[in-house]
Structure formats: structure tokens, C-alpha cells
Structure 1
Amino acid sequence: MNTDHLKRELQSDLSASFPKRGFPYQKVAALVLYWTEDDFQPPCKDEAREVKDLFSTGLGYDTVVFPIPSTNSRNALEKAVVDFKYAYDLGSNLMIVYYSGHGDPDDKRGKAVWAAKAVGEPTIDWFEVQPHLENASADVLFIFDCCHASQAAKNRRKGSLELLAASSAGGQTPCPGKYSFTRYLVDELQKALVEKNGLQVDELHARINRRVMHTTRVTPVHFTLRPDPAPSILLRPHSRSPSTASPLGALTITVSVLEPPSRHSIQKLGDWIKRTAPNSISGIKVDRVVDLSGSLRDFLLDDGKAGISGRFIDSLGPKDKGLLLTDLNKLSQNIVDARISETIQVAGSAITTSSPEPNTAADGSTPLGSSIFQKFEMTAQKLFQNVWNATSKHPTFQRGDLKTLQQNEVAQQAGLTTTIGLSLLARDEEQVPDPEPKFIPCEDFIHKRLLGDNDRFSLATKNDQLVIVEIVRYLQGEDGSPPQSMKAQFPKTSSFLSRPKPEYFQILRCIGYTQDKSEGWYGLAFSIPEGSSTHSTLEGQFGQSPRVPLEIRYRLAYRIALSLYGLHSVGWIHKGIRSENILFFHKSKNNDKTSALDQPWLFGFEYARETGQSSSQQPEFRMNRLLYLPPSRWGTPSAKFGPEHDIYSLGVLLLEIGFWVNAEKLPGASMKHIRKAEDAQAQFIKSAGKDLSHIMGTRFAGAVSTCLKGHVGERQLDFRKDIIDILEGLALSE
């Protein structure tokens, strides 16, 4: 369904209601200066180009780069400055001049002189060029990364002129590199763009100061050079329309609705936004209107929309076809139920007294409305998963036409392109992108505590952002190098983990990988949920939270199983489904740990790989890991690791959740009961059929038995029907 006209109507309605205000400049331009030849290693031009990219791409400013030549330097620079001023000198504009190079330490007049090298020519009397900009009508910001940089500070008569200098008039500044002023400048500006959509220069100065206090001890300086007091210059993206953000920030919101988008529903949404928006909102930009269920219907039911001849649903087998038609009918029924629920809630609110009904939630919504909304979300999610499952195994797309489908407009609107990209990477039809995956030197991480030999996860900071690093140790070769297989696979795994994924994968975004060669480990670094400060594992929670409500355990089991289902659906296997690899994140050490137990995150990717890739035959003799494996994978494996082995491991994990103990404490898991590999499997199946039913119910126990008996095999359809659907029903039954 094409929704462009609905987007335009909503945007027009909202744009007329919100004035464009907040950012003070009509245009911002930057002039980036460095010497064509200098004596720094690395040269200043490397960092200067990073500044150029930040200004032009990150902030959307007009950016002019001028390498200062070694001959006729003064005249060439003066011409570049005059041309820059001529192009951008208007009272409504901001002009930025950035310089990286030497500042002359021997100038007795206390005036700014620039030099290409520490000793000798060429030099430029910048103090004679600067007046061109001091008399400008536009606001001016000087950013100088050189020694004695603050010598450029001079008052002006009109407009705002600010100087952000790497050092005072008598100070030295670090050379280009890890601790340079420009390095901190770029890092802090990029961070501010993510955190608050920009910042003022005085705040930028304070941030850089905090960084250098712990490293170089060379204090940057900031001057506001104007006759009257005024707020510091604001640096904020200019490529974004003023109507998209308030003066100090921006917020992206996704609004989910319980009916397909229509002119009527869009008008109601616009009226609601205009009626309830606070005064601090300066503008709203509508990125897109998406009809996910409608697009999936189009993909299935319209001729040629799926990139094949005829209707996609008619090209499927009877099982898949029946399943998808059932999902479509359920989705339609949920929409009807939601409309009925909305009527009930509105009618109820008209007669509500000051005392709420016993079944009313704290936020005023009724359990009926909450339950219907949850069912709608799960049904829509299930439809998407089943459409993708049918698409990924379809003969047309097995032959390599999946790349073509990635460009299909209806597939894009239905949200299929994310899973297509992940599947292409698994099939080796899409190369690992450059520069992704990102390698991050281990020195860039500041770990919260010293790493022990057995630590597998470590909270650390990178550029003042809290991340978690998954540690993967390896046996070093004679030259200290890792195994070749790991060296080849790790970048690909990192690339997979760094790509966008559907939420139900329950996998955090990987920001890159690292390596500590001296200690012999690789690390995968992940962003963590906002506001989190601590983490725990499911294995640890068995002891820390001995009493966990049944409904939380049902949701926990469902989300872990669905995460594994998602991985398998794009052609990846995990090979490490264990309670030690399920993590939770908490806001503080003292808060209730059980509150996060239905929000698990999947880790343990040291052996994760594509389904078709060769499997390691490395013997495994650690009992705490063998218990999660079927008999064919004990000791020296007799079978290649496949999806069915992941599902067996899931069965053991579900047993743990049911009995709320780790695998080694499960009934029958002790060594006295296990004489051979088959004994563990038999004991677990026995426990699932007898004791687990009493604790978790027969449906949960039946799903566990299916995993352990290996009845699912490699078929995603069976995984969905025999395990996921059962756990989903339990998760919704509270």
C-alpha cells in the first residue's frame, strides 16, 4: 500500500501548526585550513579531513577545505579568506574557521603567527589576515589547534566572535594523534550530536577540558569577543529543517496504531498531536507512514508485488499458504477487537468515579485494552516472521534473486529488507562491508575493573559511553597469533551483529571488535540499554533471585526461543545457547533484579556462524557445556553442528528456567547418573515429562520435550508450530 499521500497530508497539517524557530542561523559555513607540507607525523591534514567530514556530513555545513601552499603562502591564504567571507558574510549566517598547524612561539609582539614547521619557513602573519573576518556581519567562530593559539583573541565591534583555542598564549599543544585537541574536539562534537543534537561552544570547551585534565594537562581556552553579553554560539545540524527539532534536542517517536493507515486515522492522529503537544515543541517532521500489515498483505495477495509472476501466496505449498491466511485473519480480528475495546474504555471513562475499578491498571488502561494491544503486536510480528520464513526458502529466492527482492518497494515497506541483508551475509552473497566491521584498539576501552582469567563479560567505557565487551579467549600459536579460523570468522560475526535486526532477535548492537594480543583474546563490544549500569547472567540469577513469578518465566522462555528462531531464519546458528550467555541489564545495583528478567539479551557468539559453513570438530570435555549438547556432539563430535543442536540446547535452557536452577543441578545431571552421553538426554527427557509438568504445566513441558527429543530438525515451520507458538500462548496467558 502506497502511503506517501498520507505522509504529505500529515506533514502539511503539522507544519502549518508549528512555527519554524530555534536555530539562529540561516546558513553555516566552515573554512578548514592546514599546510600542504608540515613536519608532523601523522600530518595535520589527516585530522583536518576528519573535521571537514564532521562539518559537512555530520552537521550539514557548507565546508571549504584550503591546504595552505608552501610558496606564496600569505597571498594564497588571504585570497581564500576573502573569497570565503564574500560568499558567506551575511548577518544571519555563521562562519567557522578551523586551523591545524604550528603557532610561532617566538613572536615578541604577542600576535598570532602561523608556521608550517617548527623551525624555518614558511610562516604567515595571521594577525594581518584575521581583520577581514573581525569586521564581518556574520557571527564568526575560530577553532585553532596550534601552540600559542589564544594570541588570536581580539575584540570586535559587531556580531559574535568566539575563539576556541588549543592552548593559551604561552602554551604548547599535543601533536596530531590520540591526545590532540582536534581528536577531543571531533569526539565530543560527535557525542553531542547523538546525545542532544548539538551544543554551545562554551559547553564544548568544558567537555574538552574534562578530557585533557586526565591526559595532556594542556588547558584549552575559550574567548567570547563581543561588546555585549550573549549566549555562546550554538553548533547544531543545519541539514535538518528547523521544524524537526527544538533548540536543545530532538526526539524520534514511532506511533503504532491498531488499524491500517487511512485519511481518517491520519487526521485523528494529527489532531491528537496538535492538541497535546507541549509548548517546547518547535516543529515536527513526519519521516514516513508505514502500513506494515497492509504491505505484507500486498506482498502476499497482489499480482506481481513480490517480484514473481502471479500472487506470492499461490506459489506456496498448502502448509505455508494455510498458515499465512490464518495469520491474516487473526490480524483482522485483532483490529476489530481493538475497536470494540476502545469503545468500551471510552464509555467506561465517562462513568468512572474517583475510585478506580479494581482491574484498572496504574496508567488508567484496562487489562482488556492492554491484552488486545499485546496480541495485535504479537500477531503482526508472527505474520512478518512467517512471511519471511516462506520467502527465504522459496525456490525463486534460493537461486540468488534475494538481492533483487532487496530493491522491491513492497518488500521494503513490509520491513523485509533487514532480514534479507542478514541472510545475504550468511549466504556470502553480500561481502563484509568496508569500513565495517570496525576494529577498535583495546587501549580505547577503560574497563570498570581488572579482567580475571575467567571473565567472559566486562563493562567498560569508550569515549565516555558505557559498553559491554564479550571476551573470547583463544589458544595462542607459537607466534602468539589466534587460530586462523577465528581470525577469519570474527570480522564477519562482528559485521552480522552490527547490522540492524528486528527487535525480537534480542541482540544488542555491536559497535565493533577488539583484540588483546598479549592476553590472547578477542572482544565483541556492544552498546547497552540506556540508563543501565550493571548486568547479570541468567546462570547467576538462579541464585540471586530464588523466587521468580511464573508469568515472568514464561515471557523469558518465549523471548529467548524467539531470538533463536530469528537467528535460524536468516541462516545463522548460535552454538552457545546456555544460561551463562543470557544477560540482563539493570539501572543500579540496588534495584529489583527480577524487574528485568523478562528482557533477556542473547550473547555468547564465539562460535556463531552461518548454517552452511563447516563445523568445528574440536573435542569438548567440559561437563558444564556438554550438558547442553546432544549425544552426537559429546567428546569428538560425530555430527556437524546444525540448527537442531541449537534447539536441543534451548530445551536444556528451558529446563533450567522451569526448575530455576543451572544445568548441573537439574534432576539427573550429576555424574552418578551419567555413564555415557545418552544418559544425560534420557534423564532430561524424563524430567521434562514428569516433574516439569507439575511446575510449569503440560504445554511448557511438551515444548521442552520436543526440543530434547530432536523432533524439530531443521524446519523453521516445525520450530514455530511446536515450540514458539506454545511459548507465545503461555506468555500471553497471564
Structure 2
Amino acid sequence: MAQEREILDEFKQVTDNYWLTHSEYTRVNALLLYWTEDDLGVAAEVTRLQRVFEKDFAFQSTVYQIPSKNCTTELNFQLASFIRQHASEQGSLIIVYYAGHADEPDQKNPGSSGWRANLKEGPALDWHLMQPALYGANGDVLVILDCCHAALKTRGSKKGKMELLAACGSGSRVPSPGKLSFTSILLGQLKQKVRNGEAINIKSLHCLLWADRLPTTGLSFHPFFSCPDIPWLTRDCDPETPVYFDLSEQETRSIVLQRLQSATPNGFARRHSPATSFMLLKVSLNDDPTGLQIADWLKSFPPKTIQDVDIEALVLKARRLENIQEYNCFFPGSVLGRLPPASQEQILGGIWGLSHTISSTAALAEESSKGLNSGSADEATRANFAEKVIGDLQEKVQDVSDNIEDAVLLGANFTLQEALNDEAVLVAEAEDSIRLTQTIRQYLIDNSYIPNTANLPSGAVTEELTQRAASSHRLRYGSIWDKKVVVERFQYATNAPESLQPTEKALLQVKRMVDQLILPRKQDFRALPCVGFVYERHIKTFGIVFELPPGCDQSKPPMTLLSAYSTRKRVALDVRIQLAFSLATALGHFHRVGWVHKEFTSENVSFFVGRDQSESDLTRPWLFGFECSRPGDAESEMNADYSPSGNLYRHPERWGNPTIKFTKAHDVYSLGIVCLELALWKSAKGLRELKEKPLNPWKLKEDLITLVRKDIPHMVGQSMADTISTCLNFKEITKGLSEFETHQEFKLRILGPLKNARV
């Protein structure tokens, strides 16, 4: 024990300020561009950015001054050479940065994007003809543009990650170099984050840049738009606002900037020490014959819906999780070693189950390599078998990851920042949930905390109403700087009927909500990535702006679950159970990070139609209605509501004028009502139990439980019936239990039966 403690202390002492974080990239190279004829004076800011990249991030960088003569040919050659030299392999990231002038958009060719050396005349080139070269990079690509009219529509088909962060959108202008320039504000955020040991998610960085550049006075323009250096940059021009685009071909997680890991510092490698969790991420398939054999075997007849790279990633994660036990990551002093015994046993039990699945799969792969199980099975049969094996592996990997995340978020006696520095936790991919939990807890610690949230300017979102979407529809399609979005609108409170301004409390509530929604999170939350929010005073509404689901057909409006009950007359039982499981999983994820929804109803569950679909996929729900959501331990709103329809999904304690604070158990009760609707496939508003006069909420609850016990097993099976009963009685079932124990009951009594009931 003493020796292990000594080793840990030595590791911390030697590596302090050395590994701030772990990067997913093995190499990062930046190409910093500006003109030789630099009439703006950007050279000083470019040098500062180069210094931060090299000193603080340990990136490699190249500064290239675009020549006046043959500028297009020379930059094309430089760009091609840079890509060939630094972006030829996966696991790499290249950053292309430009500071200088840009042409105003051409009305006849809105996709064009030109750079120029001087404001009005001089050398110029067409960037939109050069950017497609970046789509051929094997690694990831980040483009940063500090120029006017920056984010023009120059999309392509990059198979890996490619993102654009720009000072402004098309038709907007930016300040000249100085303390208020885009690059200066970007540098401030980069230095603050990396020196605090924080990872920098590009999408989240965009939101922070928004906040830094937004006015605090409520004006629609920023006071720094009066720039004597550039006559046309006045308060009369369009306000510049940083913009972000994901140019990847497929939906991916946002690029994350972190300090690169260097060679092991002198002083630590000189001693032999027991393996610890910091070794886990060093495991790769190339160094793992068993994992490599499994991956190669599964890739030899993969299902059409699963790519080779996904199979490799799954096997690699499975082997890393399995190695948590082998590397003895539960040693005293480690993050996992400081968990309660019950949490450790749960994690180890999951790892043993995963290890058994891996061993069985490895045996099948070994037999296949010797030709012992090839038989006469056709390709389709083998693909189906592979899909089942992959499904089993995914399930076991998910179980172990969830167990680690449960323990860290709900049952730990250490800080979340400590957990972020533990590689066993990172292997479980729990970092996004940890950061979200940190944000939520910030509100509980400091009630006066005002987040840096993306308050989008009025008019930034252009709405697109289809003929089939009524003007009053709560969800509207739209676009913001050529990016297609969906906007959820709701009215805000004002201090007086004639006032158009939201109350300070209403504005703070929506800022905090959006601050949580913009953070990266797993898809199992079933909440679309958030871009920001707008508030339009003339109609007294907030609008939460979300990215669209991949492949969404905007010619067909979204459909709520409530409307589906009347428009989709018959829905298969397995689809309804899968939908119930997806919704329960989503609610469990929100509760695990300390977030309650408060309006979990069938009207706040929506579905989108894919471009290759004739109707919505009911197994892929998306949650909305976050206007009332908040941290689980925060003060509740005690608003009165006496309408039966308004109270239908609410626990009896929350009917009328509630005096009881909203809790997670109240959300679970709402889930039970939604699951009851799924079993009956009709809105609960039509239940005869709801038509009694006068309506007693506690009697209604008992009547619904009686209905579930009497009729639901015959209709959808005992598992679904038990789940609904548990949801309706969850407050009583979990009385006196800890957060961790309550969540385990949720998994055991609600998620478990639904998972097993799926066909």
C-alpha cells in the first residue's frame, strides 16, 4: 500500500503541469495564413496565435505569407504540400487559419468566397475553389477564419471530422486587429481553457466566443463596431457574430483541442511500477493480437449498417474496459479505488460479463481462422450472426460504461475534476456527462451565476414554414447562416402586460437551460444539439435553436407523440416497447447528471421524417419542452395549474398550487403516464378515469394503477405493466434511498424489464 501511494505521489509530482489533458490526436499541425501586403496589421496577432499553439498546446505550426504575385498558384501549392505532409494519416488534426480581407458575397454566386490583400484593390484569390482540397485529408480538419464575410456556403463531403469556426457569417464585417478582434477573443479563451487543464470542444468554444462578443446592455449592436481604422465599420453595419459549421459528411462529435502528450518525463520511467489506469489508453489493436483477430473476423462479414471503423472502435473500447481489471485500476488512491464497495462490485461484475463475451467471440474468431466453423452458411446468414455478436458486445460495453458513469456521478467521494483526469473513466467515455454535471452543479453552488450563453441576434434565424405546418406550430424549421435548424418557441413572462422585455428571472432561466443544452452529450439523451437561443420581443417569445437530425426531410413537419396516437392507427408492440425503452433511457441519462425535465409529456416527444422515409421512425424520439427544466436540487417554481389536462402527467403532489419541490420521482411518474399511453396507444386525456367530477389526484393515481394491473398485462405483457406500475409508485419505492441507490432501482425496475421485453 505504501509503495503504491509513493508511486502515485511521484507520478503526480513529476508530471504536474506536464499532462494537462489527453488529446485524441497523435499530431496537430496548424497553417497560419495572412498576406505579405498586410494593410490591416494582423501579423502581431498571428504571431501570438502561433505562440499559444506551440507553447500551450504543443502543436506544430507554419506561418505562410500569401505572396502578391501568383497568389492562387502559390497558395494552392502550399496547401497541397501541407495536407500531404501533415494530414495523410488518421489520428491527426490540421488547423488552417486565415486573417485578412475578404470579398463581399456575390449575389449571383452565393457560394463564392474570395480573399484579398487590400480593402478595395490588389491581389485576390478564390478560397472557395481551394477549400475542397481539405476534404481529401485523412485526418480531421479545423478551419478558422478571421475576416469579413467569412462563413460562406463552401460545403463538401469530408468523411472524417471537418469544422469551420469563423468571425462572422456572409454579409457581416469584423473589427480590425486589437483587443476586441475575433482572434484576440479567441486567444483569451484558448489560453484560459488550456491553462486550467480543460479540453476545448469547438462547438462549445463557438458559444463562449458568442458570449464574449455579445453586448451586456441589451443593444442589438456591440459598442466596438465604431472603428476609426476602417471607415465602413460603424454602428450602421451588420453586427458581426462568430459562426460555427460542421462540414463533416456524417454526424460526429465536435473536434476537441487539448495539449498534446509528449514523451515520458525523466524521473518516472526509471522505476518499475505496477500498471495503473494511465496505461489503459495506450492499448491499441495493433498491440493486441486477440482484439485484432476479433475485429478482423467481424469485419470479414459485417452487417451493411455497420462500418469497419465502428467495429474496430467497439472492439478497442471493449478490450480497454476489460483491461481495467487486469491493470488493477481499483488500487487505493485511484478514482475507482475510492468508490464504495457496492459500486466497485457492480463495475467488476459488468467487466466479468464483458470478458466472457470477449472470450467467446475470440474463440469463434480463432475457429474461423482455422476454417473450423465456415460451413456452408451464406453471406447473409454470416452477416446476421455477426450483427448478433456485435450487438452482444455493444450491450456489455454499454453496461460497464454505464456502471462506471453511475458510480462517478452519483456515488463518488472525490471531485469530478479528479475523475476527468483518470483514464479508466475516460475509457468509459464519461467525460461529456461529467462536464455537463459540473455545469449543472455550478448553478446549485452559485445562484447568481450567469452563464456565457449563445444569445443569437434577432433575425439571425430565417424560418421556413411548409404548407403542411400551421403558423402556430411550436417547432419550426429554419436556417442560420446556411445551416438548417429547428426552432422550438415558447412565450416568456414580462413584468407588465405592455412590456416587451422578458423578466430577469425568465431570461436567466433560458440562459441556464441553453448553457446545458449546448454542451456535448451522448445520443441516448435523445436531445438534439443546441445552437443557441433567440428572443423576439414583438411576440414575447424565446426560441431554442437546435440542429436537425441527420438526413431530416424538411418538406415534412415534425410529429409529436401526442399527434401520432391519432395519425398512426396501428403500431407494432415491439416498436412501442422500444420507444418506451428509449424514453426511459433518455430520462435516466438526464437524472444521472442531475437534470430534471419537469414537462415529460407526449406533446414534448417529437419525431422527424428522414429523406429516404415515407413516415417518421417511432423508435427514434427527440425530447423538447425544456423551458421548465432545471438542476434537480434547484429551487422549484410553484406555479398554480388547476386544469385536468395540465396536471394529467403530474404526480398528485404537483397538482394545483404545489407546495412540494419537484423531484426526479415526479419526472418518473410522468414517464409512467407516457408508457401507459404507449400501451393503450391513445392519449391519456381520453381515459374515463379522468372524467370523474370532482377529480381527486390521489384517487386518479390509484385508479390508473388498478387499470395497469387489470388490463395492461393482457395488452402488452407483464414486463411493460410492471414498468408502468413502478413509475407511478417510484416516489414511494425509493423513499429514503440515496441518489445512487435510487438510480439503481430505476435501472433494475424500469430499464431492465423494458430492455428484456424488446423483441
TM-score (norm 1): 0.64
Q: Would you say 1:728 and 2:755 are equivalent positions?
A: yes
Match of 1:562 among 585, 588, 612: 585
Asked if the contact 2:582/2:621 (under 8 Å) is kept, the reply is: yes
Distance 1:291 1:473, change over 3 A: same
Whole-angstrom distance in 2 between the partners of 1:313 and 1:453 = 57
Equivalent residue number for residue 691 of structure 1? 711
Q: C-alpha offsets along residues 384-406 of structure 1, whole Å, 9 cap, x if unaligned? A: 22222122233522xxx221221
| CA 60–644 in structure 1, closer or farther in 2 if over 3 Å, else same | same
Q: Any idea what the Cα deviations from partners look like across 1:136-167, whole Å, max 9, x if unmatched? A: xxxxx8636755x5x868xxxxxxx76999xx
CA distance in 2, matches of 1:198, 1:504: 24
Secondary structure of the residue aligned to 1:187 is coil
Which whole-Å CA distance do the structure 2 matches of 1:32 and 1:252 have between them? 38
Residue in structure 2 matched with residue 188 of structure 1 by the alignment:
153
CA distance in 1, matches of 2:756, 2:427: 28
Letter of the structure 2 residue corresponding to residue 484 of structure 1 = E
Shift of 1:309: 2.7
Contact 2:531 2:546 in 1 (8 A): yes
- The answer as to whether partners of 1:28 and 1:61 remain within 8 angstroms in 2 is yes
Asked if 1:539 is matched to 2:562, the reply is yes
State the partner residue of 1:424.
438
Code of the aligned partner of 1:607 = C
* Letter of the structure 2 residue corresponding to residue 376 of structure 1: L
SS in structure 2 opposite 1:681?
helix
Distance in 2, matches of 1:629 and 1:727, equals 22
Aligned to 2:224: none
Match of 1:525 among 521, 541, 545: 545
Q: Sort the Cα spacing of 1:439 and 1:694 in 2 relative to 1 into closer, same or farther, 3 A.
A: same
Structure number with greater Rg is 1
2:535 match: 515
1:411 aligned to which of 410, 425, 432: 425
Aligned CA distance change for structure 1 residues 717 and 249 (closer, same or farther; 3 Å): closer
8 A contact 1:712–1:719 mirrored in 2 = no
Letter of the 1:383 partner, please give it.
V
Is the contact made by 2:38 and 2:117 (CA closer than 8 Å) also made in structure 1? Answer: no
260 and 701 in structure 1: CA distance in 2 versus 1, 3 angstrom threshold:
farther
How many angstroms does 1:542 deviate by?
Answer: 1.3
Deviation at 1:666, TM superposition (A): 3.6
Following superposition, the deviation at residue 562 of structure 1 comes to 0.6
1:360-439 correspondence runs (5 A): 365-366=383-384, 368-397=385-414, 401-428=415-442, 437-439=453-455
2 CA distance for matches of 1:638 and 1:97?
Answer: 57
Aligned partner of 2:646 in structure 1 is 625
Give the Cα separation in 2 of the matches to 1:340 and 1:385.
Answer: 27
Describe the superposition over 1:322-343 as per-residue Cα deviations: whole angstroms up to 9, x where unpaired. Answer: 4334322322232244346667
Q: Aligned in 2, Cα 1:692/1:197: closer, same or farther, shift over 3 Å?
A: closer
Tell me how far apart the structure 1 counterparts of residues 581 and 492 of structure 2 sit (CA, whole Å): 33
Q: How far apart are 1:556 and its partner, in Å?
A: 0.8
Q: In terms of mean alpha carbon deviation, does 307-316 or 467-476 score higher?
A: 307-316
Aligned to 1:474: 492
Q: Which residue of 2 aligns with 1:122?
A: none
Determine the structure 2 residue equivalent to 1:237: none
- Alignment partner of 2:358 out of 335, 339, 353: 335
What does residue range 147-296 of structure 1 map to in structure 2 within 5 Å? 149=121, 183-189=148-154, 261=285, 262-265=287-290, 268=293, 291-296=316-321
Distance (whole Å) between structure 2 residues aligned to residue 311 and residue 405 of structure 1: 6
Report deviation, 1:658: 0.8
Going from structure 1 to structure 2, the CA distance change for 1:441 and 1:458 (only over 3 Å counts) comes to same
CA contact (8 A) 2:599 2:625 kept: yes
Equivalent runs, 1:698-717 vs 2, <5 Å: 698-710=718-730, 711-713=732-734, 715-717=742-744
Match of 1:31 among 30, 35, 39: 35
Look up the SS of the partner of 1:661 in the other structure: coil
The match for 2:15 is: none
Q: Does 1:655 align with 2:676?
A: yes
Superposed displacement of residue 36, structure 1? 6.1
Q: Aligned pair in 2 of structure 1 residues 488, 343: CA closer, same or farther (>3 Å)?
A: same
- Residue 603 of structure 1 deviates from its aligned partner by 1.6
- 2:505 pairs with 1:485: yes
Amino acid at match of 2:671: L
Given the superposition, is the C-alpha separation of residues 623 and 456 from structure 1 closer, same or farther in structure 2, using an over 3 Å criterion? Answer: farther
| Aligned pair partner of 2:519 in 473, 491, 499 | 499
The AA in structure 2 aligned to 1:683 is D
SS of the residue corresponding to residue 408 of structure 2 reads helix
Judge conservation of contact 2:525–2:585 (CA < 8 Å) in 1.
yes
Is the aligned partner of 1:602 residue 2:602? no
Give CA deviations for 1:595-649 in whole Å, capped at 9, x if unaligned: x111112221111111111000011234323110111100101210000000000
1:684 deviation in Å? 1.6
SS of residue in 1 equivalent to 2:391: helix
How big is the shift at 1:567? 0.7
SS of residue matched to 2:539: coil
Runs of 5+ unmatched residues, structure 1: 1-10, 16-24, 38-44, 66-79, 104-140, 154-160, 166-180, 200-207, 217-247, 278-283
Decide whether aligned partners of structure 1 residues 641 and 333 sit closer, same or farther in structure 2, where only a CA change above 3 A counts. Answer: same
Could you tell me how far apart the structure 1 residues matched to 2:75 and 2:547 are? 42
Considering only aligned residues, what root-mean-square deviation do their CA atoms show, in Å?
5.1
Query: SS where residue 470 of structure 1 aligns?
Result: strand
From the superposition, tell whether residues 472 and 466 of structure 1 become closer, same or farther in structure 2 (CA, over 3 Å).
same
Contact preservation (8 Å) 1:508, 1:601: yes
Hey, what does 2:116 align to over in structure 1?
A: 143
State the 1:195 CA deviation: 8.7
Give the Å deviation of 1:499: 1.3
Distance 2:297 2:115 in 1: 45
Secondary structure of 2:495 counterpart: coil
**Distance in 2, Cα, partners of 1:187 & 1:91:** 20
1:376 CA drift (Å)? 2.4
Q: Does 1:316 align with 2:340?
A: yes
1 CA distance for matches of 2:673 and 2:625?
A: 16
1:186-235: CA deviations, max 9, x gaps? 3335x559799889xxxxxxxx9xx88xx99xxxxxxxxxxxxxxxxxxx
| Cα separation, partners in 2 of 1:265 and 1:598, compared to 1, 3 Å | same
Q: CA contact under 8 A between 1:307 and 1:405: conserved in structure 2?
A: no
Paired letter, 2:407: A
Q: Percent of aligned pairs with the same residue? A: 20
Q: Of 584, 587, 602, which aligns to 2:610? A: 587
CA contact (8 A) 1:306 1:410 kept: no
Q: 1:302 to 1:433 in 2, by over 3 A?
A: farther
In the alignment, residue 715 of structure 2 is paired with which amino acid? I
Shift of 1:728: 1.1
Q: More deviation in 26-35 or 516-525? A: 26-35
User: Deviation per CA, 1:687-721, whole angstroms, max 9, x where unpaired?
Assistant: 21111111110111011001112344351111111
Checking the alignment, whether the CA contact within 8 Å between 1:306 and 1:408 is kept in structure 2 is no
- Contact 2:489-2:543 within 8 A present in 1 as well: yes
Instruction: Name the CA distance, whole Å, in 2 between partners of 1:91 and 1:187.
Output: 20
CA distance in 1 between partners of 2:292 and 2:577 (Å): 39
**Partner Cα distance (1:542, 1:32) in 2:** 65
2:698 match: secondary structure: helix
Is the contact between residue 291 and residue 315 of structure 2 (CA under 8 Å) also seen in structure 1?
no
Paired AA for residue 188 in structure 1:
K
Which residue pairs with 2:462 in the alignment?
Answer: 446
1:563 counterpart SS class = helix
Query: For residues 183 and 195 of structure 1, do their structure 2 counterparts lie closer, same or farther at Cα, with a shift above 3 Å needed?
Result: farther
1:675-686 equivalences under 5 Å are 675-686=695-706
- 1:414–1:97 distance in 2 versus 1, CA, 3 Å: closer
Decide whether the 8 Å contact of 2:463 with 2:477 is kept in 1.
Answer: yes
Cα offset, 1:672, TM superposition? 2.9
Q: Could you tell me which residue of structure 2 aligns to residue 664 of structure 1?
A: 685
Larger displacement relative to structure 2 (479-488 or 451-460): 451-460
